[in-house]
C-alpha cells in the first residue's frame, strides 16, 4: 500500500525522505504540485482498469509504469551481464597457453568451467588448479575476488549510479540482502566492505604463509595468499592436488582456514553489528545477528559431534583424540559453502555424506560471500513448521514478531531451491547415466548438484569424469545457484495491481 508506493516510486537522488509529504492520500514533494501526479484519462476512472496507469514526474520528466518496469528489467540484465562478462573474460584468459603449464592445451570448455567455478566461488574443478601457471593462478585469484565481492559492490554501484544517494526502493533491497542499516553514502558502504575484506584476507595470508613456510611448502607466499583469498571467499580452490588432506593434523593451517571461512560466511551485516557492539555504539545485537550466530554455532557444534561419531571408525580412524576432533570440526565448517577438504569425501560414511549435503544446502548467512539458501531462511522455515500450529498464530523470535512477508519469502526460497536442485539431478542423470553410459549413483549425482547449486565445491570424485553436456549443466547450475537468490531479491518486473474487487476464498484439503 503506502509502503509499496514509497518503496517502488520514491527516489532520493537529490532529496531525502523528509522532503515529501502526504496530501489527499497521495505523495508529493514540497516543491512540486499535484500536476506531477497525472492520471491517464480513458473516459473513466483509471482505477477501474485494475492496473496502475499512474504517471509520475521524477527529476524533471514523467516516468510511466512501462518505463519503471523497463528499469527493473535493465537492472537484472546488468547484474547477470556483469557476471557473464567476467566469466567469459576469465575463460578466455585461462584458455591462453601462457596460463597453462601441463602437457597439451586446456580445452575452452574446461577453462569456462574453471572460470565459472571461480567467479561463482564454488570450487568444483575438472582439472587440477596446480596445473595452471603463475599467470593462470593470478587470474583465478582475481576471478574469485570479482565473484566474491562483485554482487555487493556491483549492486551498490548500480543502485547509486544516477546520483550520490540511494532510493528507498534500493535501500530496502540492500537492507534485506546485504546491510543491516543502509547508509546514504554509497562510497562509505563500499569502503567499509573492501577494507574489511582485504584486512581479513591479509591477516589470513600472513598466518597461512608462516604455516606453509614452516611445513616446507614451496612458494609459501603464493600459497598463503591464494588460500587466504579462497577461504575468505568460501571458494574452496586449492593449489594442492589433494586439497588440504596433507594438513589434516596441522592446526596451524586448518584453524586459520576455518576462521576465514566462518568470517566470510557470517556476513558483513553481522560483522558490522558486532563491531558496533564492541565499541559501544549499540547495546543489543540485532535479531538478524543473534539468529545467524545462534544457528551457525549450533550447526558447527552439532555437526562436529556427528562427524566425530560417524567417522571415528572410518576416515578419522587411527588419529589421536585431538586430531580426530580437529578433523571433525573442519568437516563441520567446510560444507558451509567453503569446499576445502582434509579427508576424501568419497571415503566418508553414507550418514556423513548425507549430513554434509544438508549442511551444503543450508549454507552461510545473508549478506555474506557464502552460498546456500542461508541459515536465517532455514531457521524461519523450521520455526514456521514447529511453532505455527494455527494459521493465524504469530512467529516470534527474541521478543520480535516475524512478518508474514518474510516467512513467505523464506518458504519460497526453500521450495524453489529444492525444485531447481532435483530438476538438475534429473537432467544430470540423463546426460551421464543414460546418454554418456556412466554409472553414477543417485547419491553421487545429488551430492554434486547440491555442491554446485550452493557454491560449495565438495565432490565425491565425479566432477572430472562428467561428460561435456554434464559439465555444461553443472556450469549453469553454479551460475544459477550464485545469482538465483539475488535475482529473487530484486523487485519483480510486473507492476503491482491495485484490486478493488477480490475473489471469494476457496477451500483445499491438505495433509
Rounded to 10 deg, the angle between the 268-278 and 186-214 helix axes is: 90
Sign of CA dihedral 100, 106, 112, 118: negative
Ranges of residues in the chain whose predicted pLDDT is under 70 = 1-76, 151-187, 388-394, 485-500, 511
The three three-digit cell numbers of residue 100, written as one number: 597453462
pLDDT value at residue 502 = 73
Place of cell 553443472: 474
Residue 510 has a pLDDT of 74
As a dihedral over the C-alpha atoms of residue 276, residue 282, residue 287, residue 289, rounded to 10 degrees, the angle is 20
Residue 147: CA count within 13 A, CB half-sphere: 38
- 285 Cβ partners below 8 Å, 6+ apart? 273, 274, 277, 293
- The residue assigned the cell 547419491 is 443
pLDDT at position 499 is 61
The Cα–Cα gap between 384 and 62 comes to: 43
Query: Would you state the pLDDT for residue 12?
Result: 38
Q: Rounded to an integer, what distance in angstroms lies between the CA atom of residue 55 and that of residue 460? A: 56
**Kind and range of the H or E run holding 474:** helix 468-489
Residue 494: left if φ>0, alpha if ψ -120 to 50, beta else—which one?
A: beta
* Cα–Cα nearest to 13, from 162, 134, 235, 198: 162
Residue 358 has what pLDDT? 96
Q: What pLDDT score does 410 carry? A: 87
| Cα 315 to the center of its chain, rounded Å | 30
Grid coordinates given for 96: 591462453
Determine the pLDDT at residue 177. Answer: 45
Q: Cβ(40)–Cβ(53) under 8 Å?
A: yes
Q: How many other C-beta atoms lie within 10 A of the C-beta of residue 138?
A: 16
**Which DSSP symbol is given to 156?**
H
Provide the sign of the torsion angle of the four alpha carbons 183, 188, 190, 195, taken in this order. negative
* Separation CA 450–CA 363 (nearest Å): 10
Three cell numbers at 78? 546488468
**What stretches of 368-469 adopt beta strand conformation (E)?**
395-397, 400-402
Q: Which three cell numbers stand for residue 61?
A: 520528466
CB 407 within 8 A of CB 397: no
Sign of the CA dihedral running 179, 180, 184, 187: negative
The pLDDT of residue 129 is 94
pLDDT at 322: 93
pLDDT at 399: 77
- Determine contact, residues 353/345, Cβ cutoff 8 Å: yes
Q: CB count, 10 Å around CB of 161?
A: 9
Query: Model's pTM, two decimal places?
Result: 0.81
155: how many CB neighbours lie within 10 A of its CB? 22
Amino acid at each position: 500500500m503506502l509502503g509499496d508506493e514509497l518503496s517502488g516510486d520514491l527516489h532520493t537522488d537529490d532529496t531525502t525522505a523528509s522532503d515529501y509529504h502526504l496530501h489527499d492520500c497521495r505523495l508529493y514533494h514540497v516543491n512540486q504540485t499535484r500536476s506531477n501526479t497525472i492520471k491517464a484519462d480513458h473516459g473513466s476512472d483509471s482505477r477501474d482498469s485494475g492496473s496502475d496507469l499512474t504517471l509520475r514526474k521524477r527529476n524533471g520528466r514523467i516516468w510511466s509504469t512501462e518505463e519503471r518496469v523497463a528499469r527493473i528489467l535493465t537492472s537484472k540484465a546488468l547484474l547477470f551481464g556483469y557476471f557473464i562478462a567476467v566469466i567469459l573474460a576469465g575463460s578466455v584468459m585461462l584458455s591462453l597457453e601462457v596460463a597453462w603449464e601441463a602437457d597439451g592445451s586446456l580445452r575452452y570448455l574446461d577453462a569456462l568451467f574453471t572460470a565459472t567455478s571461480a567467479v561463482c566461488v564454488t570450487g568444483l574443478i575438472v582439472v587440477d588448479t596446480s596445473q595452471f601457471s603463475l599467470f593462470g593462478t593470478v587470474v583465478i585469484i582475481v576471478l574469485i575476488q570479482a565473484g566474491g565481492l562483485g554482487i555487493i559492490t556491483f549492486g551498490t554501484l548500480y543502485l547509486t549510479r544516477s546520483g550520490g544517494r540511494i532510493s528507498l526502493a534500493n535501500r530496502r533491497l540492500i537492507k534485506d540482502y546485504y546491510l543491516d542499516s543502509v547508509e546514504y553514502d554509497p562510497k562509505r558502504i563500499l569502503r567499509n566492505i573492501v577494507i574489511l575484506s582485504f584486512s581479513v584476507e591479509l591477516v589470513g595470508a600472513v598466518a597461512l604463509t608462516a604455516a606453509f613456510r614452516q611445513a616446507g611448502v614451496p612458494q609459501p607466499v603464493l600459497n598463503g595468499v591464494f588460500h587466504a583469498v579462497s577461504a575468505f571467499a568460501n571458494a574452496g580452490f586449492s593449489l594442492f592436488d589433494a586439497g588440504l588432506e596433507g594438513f589434516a593434523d596441522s592446526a596451524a593451517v586448518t584453524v586459520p582456514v576455518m576462521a576465514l571461512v566462518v568470517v566470510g560466511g557470517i556476513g558483513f551485516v553481522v560483522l558490522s553489528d558486532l563491531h558496533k557492539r564492541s565499541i559501544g555504539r549499540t547495546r543489543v545485537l540485532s535479531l538478524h545477528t543473534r539468529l545467524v550466530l545462534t544457528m551457525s554455532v549450533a550447526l558447527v557444534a552439532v555437526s562436529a559431534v556427528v562427524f566425530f561419531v560417524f567417522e571415528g571408525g572410518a576416515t578419522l580412524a587411527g588419529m589421536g583424540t585431538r586430531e580426530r576432533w580437529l578433523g571433525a570440526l573442519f568437516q563441520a565448517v567446510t560444507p558451509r559453502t567453503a569446499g576445502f577438504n582434509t579427508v576424501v569425501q568419497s571415503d566418508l560414511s553414507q550418514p556423513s555424506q548425507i549430513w554434509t549435503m544438508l549442511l551444503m544446502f543450508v549454507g552461510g548467512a545473508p549478506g555474506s560471500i557464502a552460498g546456500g539458501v542461508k541459515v536465517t531462511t532455514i531457521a524461519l522455515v523450521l520455526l514456521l513448521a514447529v511453532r505455527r500450529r494455527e494459521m493465524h498464530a504469530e512467529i516470534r523470535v527474541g521478543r520480535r514478531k516475524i512478518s508474514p512477508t518474510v516467512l513467505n519469502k523464506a518458504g519460497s526460497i526453500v521450495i524453489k531451491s529444492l525444485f531447481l536442485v532435483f530438476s538438475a539431478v534429473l537432467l544430470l542423470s540423463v546426460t551421464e547415466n543414460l546418454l554418456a553410459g556412466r554409472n553414477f549413483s543417485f547419491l553421487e549425482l545429488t551430492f554434486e548438484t547440491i555442491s554446485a547449486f550452493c557454491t560449495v565445491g565438495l565432490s565425491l570424485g565425479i566432477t572430472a569424469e562428467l561428460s561435456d553436456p554434464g559439465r555444461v549443466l553443472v556450469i549453469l547450475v553454479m551460475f544459477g545457484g550464485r545469482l538465483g537468490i539475488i535475482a529473487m531479491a530484486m523487485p519483480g518486473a510486473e507492476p503491482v495491481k491495485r484490486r478493488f474487487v477480490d475473489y471469494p476464498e476457496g477451500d483445499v484439503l491438505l495433509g
